[in-house]
Structure 1
Amino acid sequence: MSDEPDETPSLDVPVGMFEDIEDLKAQVARLTSLLDVRTGGGGEPGEPSDEDAGGEAAAAEEEEEEEEDAEAEWKSPPFILLLDSPQYDEELRALIEWVEGVLVPGYLAEPSADARWCHLWFEHNVVIARLHAAWLAWQELTDPASCGYTGPSVWHRDHLDPALRELRGSSGPFSGCTKGEHQVEHRLPSTVPSAWNRLGDDGALAPP
């Protein structure tokens, strides 16, 4: 005796329902295709594809390299008196250009007993060290991208003014430049001889 029913039962289903089902199938197919495209087609919904994971890894590596470069840039150049040639000569050459191109004509009034200046300042190591520190601060604090618009004010207050007080005071490093064998002729800033003229191609200072 067969288990099959004698006749197929009739289902009273509206024709419109079949059309709705076909529409739902088409929508599911479109959503599935879109999901495959966004996830790379290989993983479960919501899981990152291999391409996304690779991009994130590359971005993290690039960010780490940028941080390392920034850290290396922040540490360079080191204290000028610790440099050896030719790095020292190159750094001193750049410092001389800044001092005589910016500092001397812009900030140094006529030298006097209370405000001394030596046009051979680069022969004083302590002067080189202090002016180099002021120059490094100037490079950072005159860049609005790194310090905003208050940088120049901070530079004058915290770096330039203290440096000039120490250098130009009566007991500063120029105190011996006005007497005895150390005397040198002090001039107005407009006629200070350029130290560039005393630097050879190799960066060495020529005798006065």
Structure 2
Amino acid sequence: MADEPDPQLNVPIGMFEDIEDLKAKNAALAAEVKALAAQVTAFAEGGGAGPGEASEDGEAAAGEESADETDAEEEWQYPPFILLLDSPAYDDELRALIEWVEGVLVPGYLAEPSADARWCHLWFEHPVAVARLHAAWLAWQELTDPASCGYTGPSVWHRDHLDPALRELRASTGPFAGCTKGEHQIGHRLPGLVPSAWSHAAD
């Protein structure tokens, strides 16, 4: 009951989550220290392995740990930044990016375009937009996984990645500056209808 927050205190909920994370890390470190202390005591009392054997065990454990880290790196490789790719890898990555932008970003975060908040339904034809949106997507993939970033990852993603990217993209001087006038306006749409050029390829 002592761990429960006092309802009278006006403390952000995120702070309690941070405290819980710190408690878990502290408990893990305490367990590690206890295990190491037990090994030292056993060795001092003559019940442990000799120095040579302990060294070999340590080297073996280090080797296993290094192999585990290598395996983990091989299992997950961060995708490269899209502007570094050539076709057909670029095309594949762009398709995946379009699915994320049109499936997550457009319906969830974009209001109706205006002079102060521009958007182009052909955003994927603007290299600057592709670069900024791909960077935001890479960050989203990393920061929405609680295993790698805890509970604060999504908040960090919104603050440090999404909000600045949308400010730059939708500004009157951004890459869509010419998309509310001239020939660009003809084919534009309100966010909500998703253009999927390749989905109509069979038609």
**TM value normalised by structure 2:** 0.65
- The counterpart of 2:90, out of the listed 88, 97, 117, is 88
- The counterpart of 2:157, out of the listed 155, 158, 181, is 155
Match of 1:170, SS state, is: coil
Ranges in structure 2 where 5+ consecutive residues have no aligned partner = 1-47
Q: Does 1:47 align with 2:53?
A: no
Q: Percent identity?
A: 77
User: Cα RMSD (Å) of the superposition?
Assistant: 3.0
Counterpart Cα distance in 2 of 1:168 and 1:73: 37
Alignment check: 8 A CA contact 2:129 2:169 kept = yes
**TM value normalised by structure 1:** 0.64
Q: Number of matched residues?
A: 156
AA partner of residue 147 (structure 1): C
Alignment check: 8 A CA contact 1:126 1:173 kept = yes
Aligned to 2:144: 142
Deviations 1:33-75 (A, max 9, x none): xxxxxxxxxxxx833798x887755543332233345556776
Larger radius of gyration: 1
Deviations 1:100-120 (A, max 9, x none): 110010001101111111111
Counterpart Cα distance in 1 of 2:99 and 2:138: 13
Aligned to 2:111: 109
Q: In the superposition, relative to structure 1, how do residues 143 and 192 fare at CA in structure 2: closer, same or farther (>3 Å)?
A: same
Match of 1:175, SS state, is: coil
CA-CA distance at 1:78 after TM superposition: 1.9
Aligned to 1:120: 122
Q: In the superposition, relative to structure 1, how do residues 160 and 62 fare at CA in structure 2: closer, same or farther (>3 Å)?
A: same
